[in-house]
């Protein structure tokens, strides 16, 4: 089924200097999709995200939200539509975590305002949803990087926008919080939210995303369903790393490196199992 285009990126080129970082990048995002941007360090993911948010102006091309050029939409209006979770964020002011989350309500407020009971409830719900209510009174400057990341995601939720653009949202999170974040994204997507997120984990894309856009040297090299384009060959082309994409139980896909500890044979990747023919559990899995 063809999804209604929500965001259209048309022929974007951009360079910080004379050299282009992005070249002729085009794609569209449908309402309710979860789209993952994948690519090696420095390939242009964050730059593309900043252009999609109107924070950087492209040299050529444009970004359209529901047909309107993003550069012409007032920032307050845009904030009601799109919430941004940046890769890293530091604050010099020791705001309480609750206050940082409440800042997500500002686009809904007039110039002079006080937070209403509804704002407080929305912020408390967002903290609760991310399981960080216990941090509410802590200073944002005195919590860990992962806790800050969760706070920013809660702020994005409190903002009430239906589209989330997230730059490596799982990067600072511990393993449990990474999985809980993926879970939240799936739940919110079922409620009609749209997600565009960059990641360095092809597995995260395989597990939750509808679509992946693979970027290399500032250009799109593949765009399609995760199951179809997150392949061993494409991962090698992106990361210069040999990885098998395996099918678990016919539904879940996982990435398994072909070589760890110098053993090139598929499956022989732990010191214990090295050179042991019997101990190859991965043989039972089907290679994609
Ligand atoms: N403010 C800047 N000024 C000049 N060059 C920049 C600036 N920000 C990024 N770049 C360069 O632009 C290119 C793309 O950077 P970008 O941050 O978009 O990559 P990325 O794919 O998000 O990388 P990573 O996965 O490491 O976060 C890189 O070569 C980077 O060095």
ipTM, 2 dp: 0.98
Superfamily of domain 5-231: P-loop containing nucleotide triphosphate hydrolases (3.40.50.300)
Which ligand 1 atom minimizes the distance to the CA of 200? 25
Rounded distance from Cα 16 to ligand 1 centre (Å): 9
Strand order in 243-248's β-sheet?
252-257, 243-248, 286-287
pLDDT of residue 149: 85
Most informative mutation of 15, 41, 42, 214 for ligand 1 (most atoms within 8 A of CB): 42
Which ligand 1 atom minimizes the distance to the CA of 17? 4
Most informative mutation of 17, 18, 38, 47 for ligand 1 (most atoms within 8 A of CB): 47
pLDDT of residue 278: 42
Rounded distance from Cα 183 to ligand 1 centre (Å): 29
Q: Tell me which residues have their CB closer than 6 angstroms to ligand 1.
A: 16, 21, 39, 41-47
| Dihedral angle computed from the Cα positions of residues 259, 286, 185 and 100, in that order, rounded to the nearest 10 degrees | -10
CATH 3.40.50.300 domain span(s) along the chain? 5-231
Rounded distance from Cα 199 to ligand 1 centre (Å): 14
Which ligand 1 atom minimizes the distance to the CA of 215? 21
pLDDT of residue 139: 94
Per-residue pLDDT of the chain (288 residues; tens, 9 = 90+): 666 789 999 999 999 998 999 999 999 999 999 999 999 999 999 999 999 999 999 999 999 999 999 999 998 889 889 999 888 666 678 889 999 999 999 877 777 778 889 999 999 999 998 889 999 999 999 988 788 888 988 999 999 889 999 999 888 788 988 888 888 889 889 989 999 999 999 999 999 999 999 999 999 999 999 999 999 999 999 999 989 998 887 778 889 888 765 555 544 444 444 444 444 444 444 444
Residue closest by Cα to atom 5 of ligand 1: 16
pLDDT of residue 271: 43
């Amino acid at each position: 089924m063809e999804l209604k285009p929500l965001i259209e990126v048309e022929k974007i080129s951009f360079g910080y200097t004379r050299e282009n970082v992005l070249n002729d990048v085009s794609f569209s995002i449908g309402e309710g999709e979860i789209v993952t941007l994948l690519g090696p360090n420095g390939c242009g993911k964050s730059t593309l995200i900043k252009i999609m948010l109107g924070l950087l102006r492209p040299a050529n091309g444009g970004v359209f939200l529901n047909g309107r050029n993003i550069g012409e939409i007032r920032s307050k209006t845009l904030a009601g539509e799109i919430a941004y979770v940046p890769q890293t964020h530091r604050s010099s002011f020791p705001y309480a975590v609750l206050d940082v989350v409440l800042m997500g309500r500002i686009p809904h407020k007039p110039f002079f305002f006080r937070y209403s009971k509804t704002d407080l409830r929305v912020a408390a719900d967002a903290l609760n949803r991310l399981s960080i209510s216990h941090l509410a009174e802590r200073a944002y400057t005195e919590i860990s990087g992962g806790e800050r990341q969760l706070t920013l995601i809660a702020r994005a939720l409190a903002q009430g926008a239906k589209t989330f653009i997230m730059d490596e949202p799982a990067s600072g999170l511990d393993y449990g919080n990474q999985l809980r974040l993926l879970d939240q994204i799936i739940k919110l997507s079922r409620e009609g939210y749209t997600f565009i997120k960059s990641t360095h984990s092809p597995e995260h894309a395989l597990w939750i995303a509808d679509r992946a856009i693979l970027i290399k040297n500032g250009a799109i090299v593949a765009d399609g369903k995760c199951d179809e384009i997150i392949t061993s060959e494409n991962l090698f082309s992106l990361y210069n790393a040999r990885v098998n994409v395996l099918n678990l139980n016919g539904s879940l896909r996982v990435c398994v490196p072909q070589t760890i500890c110098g053993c090139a044979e598929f499956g022989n990747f732990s010191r214990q199992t090295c050179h042991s023919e019997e101990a190859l559990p991965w043989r039972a899995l089907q290679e994609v």
